[in-house]
Structure 1
Amino acid sequence: MGAAKSKRVPRAVRERQMMDAAVRTFARRGYRAASMDEIAELAGVSKPLVYLYLNSKEELFSAVIRREAAALVTAVTAAVEKDAAADRQLWCGLTGFFAHTAEHPEGWAVLHQQARTHGEPFAIEVAAMRAEIVRFVAGLIGAAAKEAGCAGELADREVAGLAHALVGAAESLAEWANTCAADGTSTLGVIGERERPTAKDAAGTLMNFAWAGLGRLMHGERWTPA
Structure 2
Amino acid sequence: MPRAVREQQMLDAAVRTFGQRGYRAASMDEIAELAGVSKPLVYLYLNSKEDLFIACIRREAKALTTAVRAGVHPGLPADRQLWEGLTAFFTHTAQHPDGWTVLHLQARTHGEPFAAEVAALRADMVAFVTEVIVVAAREARRDPSLPEREVAGLAEALVGAAESLAAWANATPGVTARQAAATLMNFAWAGLGELMGGRPWAAPSGAEAVPAG
For the aligned pair, the TM-score class normalised by the smaller chain equals: over 0.9
Identical columns (%): 71
Match of 2:111 in 1: 119
Structure 1 portions without partners, runs of 5+: 1-8, 180-190
Aligned amino acid, residue 212 of structure 1: A
2:76 is equivalent to residue 108 of structure 1? no
Aligned 8 A contact 1:90 1:140 in 2: yes
Which portions of structure 1, spanning 4 or more consecutive aligned residues, are displaced by more than 2 angstroms?
A: 149-158
Match of 2:151 in 1: 159
Match of 2:30 in 1: 38
Shift of 1:158: 2.8
Shift of 1:81: 1.2
From 63, 71, 94, give the equivalent of 2:55.
63
In 2, Cα distance between the equivalents of 1:156 and 1:39?
44
2:167 is equivalent to residue 175 of structure 1? yes
2:192 is equivalent to residue 200 of structure 1? no
Match of 1:4 in 2: none
Higher fraction of helix:
2
2:206 is equivalent to residue 214 of structure 1? no
Aligned amino acid, residue 37 of structure 1: D
Aligned 8 A contact 1:65 1:115 in 2: yes
In 2, Cα distance between the equivalents of 1:151 and 1:123?
37
2:78 is equivalent to residue 86 of structure 1? yes
Once superposed, what is the RMSD of the aligned Cα atoms? 1.3
Aligned 8 A contact 2:13 2:34 in 1: yes
- SS state of the match for residue 119, structure 1? coil
Structure 1 residues 90 and 18, CA, compared in 2 at 3 Å: closer, same or farther?
Answer: same
Match of 1:146 in 2: 138
Aligned amino acid, residue 197 of structure 1: V
Aligned 8 A contact 1:142 1:151 in 2: no
Structure 2 portions without partners, runs of 5+: 205-213
Aligned 8 A contact 1:77 1:93 in 2: yes
- Give the number of aligned pairs: 204
- SS state of the match for residue 200, structure 1? helix
Shift of 1:98: 0.3
TM-score, length-scaled by structure 1: 0.87
In 2, Cα distance between the equivalents of 1:210 and 1:51?
46
Structure 1 residues 151 and 136, CA, compared in 2 at 3 Å: closer, same or farther?
Answer: farther
In 1, Cα distance between the equivalents of 2:166 and 2:145?
31
Aligned amino acid, residue 209 of structure 1: F
Aligned amino acid, residue 100 of structure 2: W
Aligned 8 A contact 1:115 1:123 in 2: yes
Shift of 1:225: 1.5
Aligned 8 A contact 2:32 2:39 in 1: yes
Aligned amino acid, residue 24 of structure 1: R
Shift of 1:204: 1.1
Higher mean alpha-carbon deviation, 148-157 vs 44-53, is at 148-157
TM-score, length-scaled by structure 2: 0.92
Aligned 8 A contact 2:138 2:145 in 1: no
